[in-house]
């Protein structure tokens, strides 16, 4: 299989790690070579989190080389800028539009940039930006923690994405507790719908 690199970035508590495990589980179940790497800060305090899922026959390292990510799943807007060096020119970005304002901004020591400015910076690398109000969608269905599934649903619609909706849903079934499965599937499907609107 041709190499496909996915960079997932956000802050602690948004479900980036579970999302990366679901993608990796799908590859493994289908017999596709896959490598996963992750780094995270103080997740209890909203620290920066980034995961890499690398798929393909000739993939050996766990971290996406710079400028070689075909897809970025940005769970938090500013975090997309922190890791945009991994995104290839013309790659795709699924961008959650809801900010998690850091402590420095709340303390008046910094200013959170407007979403339009964040998108403008991303457009220096790609025009394939899909803004999704994932946090709002998850809240509407009664489970803010399922915003990761909203993002995964939208990602499944990206041209060239290596897995089908059904293949990802099967991995959600395998990795999510049964009590939360239906809510997560609903969130996933809402993400698909948001992409197609």
pLDDT in tens, the chain (197 residues): 899 999 999 998 899 999 999 999 999 999 999 999 987 655 555 688 999 999 999 998 999 999 999 999 999 999 999 999 999 999 999 999 999 887 777 777 888 999 999 999 999 999 999 999 999 999 999 888 899 999 999 999 999 999 999 999 999 999 999 999 999 999 999 999 999 98
What's the confidence (pLDDT) of residue 90? 98
Six token digits for residue 136:
């709002």
pLDDT at 102: 77
Per-residue pLDDT at 39: 73
Residue 13: per-residue pLDDT: 86
Q: Is the pTM of this model over 0.85?
A: yes
Alpha-carbon gap, residue 107 to 124, rounded angstroms? 30
Q: Write down the pLDDT at residue 45.
A: 57
Q: Of the candidates 30, 36, 9, which has an alpha carbon nearest to the alpha carbon of residue 163?
A: 30
Residue 44 pLDDT: 53
The neighbour count for residue 24, using CB atoms within 10 Å, is 21
User: In degrees to the nearest 10, what's the CA dihedral of 6, 7, 10, 15?
Assistant: 40
Q: Which residues pair with 39 in a beta bridge?
A: 50
Helix (H, G, I), strand (E, B), or coil: what is residue 176? coil
Q: What are the φ/ψ torsions at residue 54 (nearest 5 degrees)?
A: -115, 125
Q: What is the DSSP letter of 113?
A: P
Q: Per-residue DSSP letters for 116-127?
A: HHHHHHHTTT-S
In the three-class reduction of DSSP (H, G, I as helix; E, B as strand; rest coil), residue 26 is classed as helix
What local confidence, expressed as pLDDT, does residue 41 receive? 57
- Pairing label, strands 87-96, 128-132: parallel
């Amino acid at each position: 299989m041709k190499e496909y690199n996915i960079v997932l970035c956000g802050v602690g508590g948004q479900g980036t790690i579970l999302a990366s495990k679901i993608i990796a589980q799908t590859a493994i179940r289908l017999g596709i070579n896959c490598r996963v790497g992750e780094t995270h800060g103080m997740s209890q305090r909203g620290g920066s989190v980034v995961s890499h899922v690398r798929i393909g026959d000739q993939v050996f390292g766990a971290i996406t080389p710079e400028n070689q990510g075909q897809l970025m799943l940005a769970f938090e807007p500013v975090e997309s800028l922190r890791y945009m060096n991994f995104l290839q020119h013309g790659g795709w970005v699924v961008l959650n539009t809801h900010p998690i304002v850091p402590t420095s901004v709340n303390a008046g020591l910094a200013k959170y940039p407007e979403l339009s400015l964040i998108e403008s910076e991303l457009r220096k690398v790609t025009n394939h930006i899909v803004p999704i109000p994932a946090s709002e969608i998850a809240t509407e269905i009664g489970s803010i923690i399922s915003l990761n599934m909203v993002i995964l649903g939208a990602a499944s619609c990206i041209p060239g994405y290596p897995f089908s909706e059904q293949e990802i849903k099967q991995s959600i079934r395998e990795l999510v507790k049964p009590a939360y499965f239906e809510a997560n599937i609903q969130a996933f499907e809402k993400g698909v719908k948001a992409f197609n609107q």
